[in-house]
Amino acid sequence: MSKDTSCINILTCENYLKNVLPAVPYDKLFNGIIGNQSFLYTDENSGKIVPVDKNYLLDLNHWISNSLLAKVYENTVSILNDSDAIYKAGRNIFKTAVSSQIFLMRVAGVQTIINRLPKENAKFNRNRTIEVVENQNGFATVRIRWAADSNLTKLFCDMNRGVYEGLGKLTRNPAKVEEKICQFEGGEHCEYLIKWKAKPFHSRIVDLCRFRLSHEVIDELERMIEEVNEIRLRQERVIKLRTADLANEKEKVVCAQNILSSYVAPQLAEKILNGEVDPVWGHSRKKITMFFSDIKDFTPTTDSMEPEDMANLLNEYFSNMNAIIQKYGGTLANINGDALFVFFGAPDRTNDRDHALRCVNMAIDMQHKMKELQQKWFEEGIEQSLQIRCGISTGMATVGGFGSEDRKAYTAMGMQVNLASRLESVCEPGGILISHPTWALVKDKIECMPKGQINVKGFSRSVRVYAVNFGKEDH
C-alpha cells in the first residue's frame, strides 16, 4: 500500500462523526477496508505483511493510500447521507488537534499559520503540494496542485477547504474560504481565497514586533513536541511488546494450570501456581468431611470386556464423577482403581455445615448420574448394571502432603478417614451411608433414615449410621 497521506485525515472524519452521532459506526466507516487484501502494511513486531485493522487506521502516525482514504470519505458521506460531510469534517479540524497544536495556532495567528501551510502539509500529505501565492492582513491566496492519481476526488478538495476554515477557529479569528479554481472541475490546480477579520493597525505593530520571535518559538516548540511524540511512540511500542510477552506468559501459566489440574485438585494447582506451597505440602489438623466411593463388583462385571472397552468405560465414569466433584468444590485426593477419595474443608475452608452439605449433595448427584450411565451402558451392551457405594463421615484428620521428597500426594489421614472408608465398604450398592456427626450437620436439609449402630473394623465401639434418602424428585 502506497503511503500517500496520514491517518490524521481519518481521525478528522471520526471526530466529526462523534459530534453528530451517539456512537461511531466503525463497521460502516471501515466497510470494505478492514481485512481487504488491497490495503496491506508491514507489522513492526512480526515483520509480516497484513491487512489494516481499526488500531492501525486510528493512529495519526500511520500512513495510507489515496484509494483507502477515498473509501473512508465515501463511507462517511454514506453514513451521514450528507454530500457536504467531508467539508464539515474539515471545518471540525480543531477537534482533532492536540492541546499543544491549539496553543501554537493561537500564539501564531492566521497569517503566520498560512505561511507555514507548505511545511505543515509535508508532515501529513504526499499527494499534493501547497504554494502560498499571497498573504496579507485579512486575506490570502493558496494554491494546491494534486498528484496525478485517479483515486483523488473532489472529496479531497472538500476536506482541504473545510480545514482552511477550521484553522480560523483555532486562532479565534474565523476565516471564510472561497474556491476560485478547482482541479477536479477542469482547472490546472485548486486555488483558495482565504479571508479573515483584519487586525487594527496597533495590533499589527505588536504582531510585527513578535513576528520574528514567533517563528523561532514555534519552531522550537514543534521540535520539542516532535521529541515528546517520538518518546511516546517508543514507550508505546515497548508497552505493546511487553504486553504481548505478558499475554504469552499468561497463556503458558493457564496451560500449565490446566495440565496440573489433571494431576492434582484444581484448588491445589491454583495455590501452587500462586506460590502458596507451604499450606499445600505442610501438615495440619482440620475438621473435614470425607467421602469414599467404589463400583460394586466392578472386576467380575468387566472381566469379559475388552481392555479398550473397559478403559473407555472407566474414563467416562471418572470424567462424569470429576465434573460433579468440581461442581461442589471437593478436593479429589485419590483415585485407586475404581475407588474415589474426596474431602471438603481443605485446602479451602468455609464451615463444617457447608462442607457436609456440599459433600452429601455431591454424593446424591453422583448416584443420579450413575443411573443415567447405567442406562447408557446397558444400551451399549453391558447387561449387568454397575452401582456405586458411598460412605461419608465428618471429623478431625491430618491434612497435607504425604510421600517422599521427590513425590508427594495431598491427602488426609486419621481414624475418621478410615471410618468413611469403612462406611463405604458396608454401604448397600446404589446407596449413601453417613456417620452421626455428618447427619447432625445436614439433617434439616437432607432426609436421612436411621440405620442403627454397626460394628466397624478397627473401631472398638459401634458406630451410629444413617442412609441418605435421595429418591425425591425435588432434589
Q: Report the pLDDT averaged over residues 453-463.
A: 86
Same domain, yes or no, for 57 and 162? yes
Q: Lowest-confidence range among 190-194, 270-274, 322-326, 375-379?
A: 270-274
Grid cell listed for 359 = 459433600
What is the CATH classification number for the domain harbouring 304? 3.30.70.1230
Domain-located, residue 314: yes
β-strand 175-181 against 128-136: which pairing, if any? unpaired
Distance of CA 305 to the CA centre of its chain: 47
- Domains in the chain, number: 2
Cα separation, 42 vs 248, whole angstroms: 22
Q: Lowest-confidence range among 238-252, 354-368, 388-402?
A: 238-252
Under 8 Å between Cβ of 183 and 101 = no
Domain-located, residue 249: no
| Res 99 pLDDT > 50 | no
Q: What is the pLDDT of residue 241?
A: 78
Q: Report the pLDDT averaged over residues 248-272.
A: 68
Q: What is the pLDDT of residue 318?
A: 92
Under 8 Å between Cβ of 339 and 299 = no
Same domain, yes or no, for 189 and 333? no
Same domain, yes or no, for 13 and 104? yes
101 sits in which H/E element: helix 99-108
Same domain, yes or no, for 166 and 280? no
Q: Per residue in 89-116, is it b (16+ CB within 10 Å) or e — as a string?
A: bbbbbbbbbeeebeebbeebbbbbbbeb
CA distances from 95 to 77, 106, 137, 200 (A): 19, 14, 26, 29
| Res 124 pLDDT > 90 | no
Q: What is the pLDDT of residue 277?
A: 57
Q: What is the pLDDT of residue 203?
A: 52
Cα separation, 423 vs 464, whole angstroms: 11
Last residue of a domain, one of 198, 230, 247: 198
Domain-located, residue 346: yes
DSSP count for the chain of H helices, then E strands: 17, 16
Same domain, yes or no, for 171 and 318? no
Last residue of a domain, one of 179, 198, 217: 198
Same domain, yes or no, for 21 and 166? yes
Higher pLDDT, 414 or 93: 414
Q: Tell me the residue range of the domain where 363 lies.
A: 276-468
Same domain, yes or no, for 36 and 165? yes
Q: How would residue 261 be classed by pLDDT, with cut points 50, 70 and 90?
A: low
Same domain, yes or no, for 194 and 282? no
Q: What is the pLDDT of residue 299?
A: 77
Q: Of 412, 251, 432, 435, which Cα lies nearest the Cα of 344?
A: 412
Per the prediction, the chain carries an average pLDDT of: 83
32 sits in which H/E element: none
Q: Of 368, 376, 366, which Cα lies nearest the Cα of 338?
A: 366
Q: Per residue in 135-168, is it b (16+ CB within 10 Å) or e — as a string?
A: bebebbbbbbebeeeebbbebbbbbbbbbbbbbb
Q: Report the pLDDT averaged over residues 75-103.
A: 77
Could you tell me what percent of the chain has a pLDDT over 90?
A: 44
| Res 98 pLDDT > 70 | no
pTM over 0.75: no
Q: What is the pLDDT of residue 228?
A: 63
Q: What is the pLDDT of residue 70?
A: 94
Cα separation, 313 vs 250, whole angstroms: 35
Q: CB-hemisphere CA count at 13 Å for 435?
A: 28
Domain-located, residue 246: no
- Local structure of residue 347 (DSSP, 8 states): S
CA distances from 420 to 315, 397, 453, 466 (A): 24, 12, 15, 12
| Res 225 pLDDT > 70 | no
Cα separation, 350 vs 473, whole angstroms: 28
pLDDT digits (tens, 9 = 90+) for 393-402: 999 999 988 8
Same domain, yes or no, for 187 and 327? no
pLDDT digits (tens, 9 = 90+) for 206-220: 555 554 555 555 566
Domain-located, residue 380: yes
pLDDT digits (tens, 9 = 90+) for 364-400: 999 999 999 999 988 888 877 889 999 999 999 999 8
Domain-located, residue 113: yes
Same domain, yes or no, for 194 and 286? no
Q: What is the pLDDT of residue 407?
A: 74
Domain-located, residue 253: no
Q: What is the pLDDT of residue 370?
A: 93
Grid cell listed for 350 = 468455609
Q: How would residue 306 be classed by pLDDT, with cut points 50, 70 and 90?
A: confident
Q: What is the pLDDT of residue 102?
A: 46
pLDDT digits (tens, 9 = 90+) for 173-211: 777 888 999 999 999 999 999 888 766 555 555 555 554
Q: Is 294 helix (H, G, I), strand (E, B) or coil?
A: strand
Among all chains, which residue has been given the C-alpha cell 460394586? 296
Same domain, yes or no, for 87 and 184? yes
Last residue of a domain, one of 146, 174, 198: 198
Under 8 Å between Cβ of 178 and 165 = no
What is the CATH classification number for the domain harbouring 80? 3.90.1520.10
Counting every residue written for the chain, the total comes to: 475
Same domain, yes or no, for 172 and 301? no
Domain-located, residue 203: no
- Give me the amino acid identity at 199: K
Q: Of 393, 394, 342, 346, which Cα lies nearest the Cα of 366?
A: 342
- Local structure of residue 81 (DSSP, 8 states): T
Could you tell me what percent of the chain has a pLDDT over 70?
A: 82
Grid cell listed for 327 = 461442581
| Res 52 pLDDT > 80 | yes
Cα separation, 65 vs 39, whole angstroms: 8
What are φ and ψ of residue 186, in 5° steps?
105, -10
- Which residues neighbour 90 within 8 Å (Cβ) at sequence distance 6 or greater? 12, 158, 159, 160, 161, 162, 163, 164, 165, 166
The burial of 246, by beta-carbon neighbours within 10 Å (0-12 exposed, 13-18 middle, 19 or more buried), is given as exposed
Under 8 Å between Cβ of 70 and 63 = no
Q: Of 223, 114, 208, 128, which Cα lies nearest the Cα of 164?
A: 114
Q: Report the pLDDT averaged over residues 348-357.
A: 94
Cis upstream peptide for 118 (omega within 30°):
no
Q: How would residue 473 be classed by pLDDT, with cut points 50, 70 and 90?
A: very low
Q: What is the pLDDT of residue 220?
A: 61
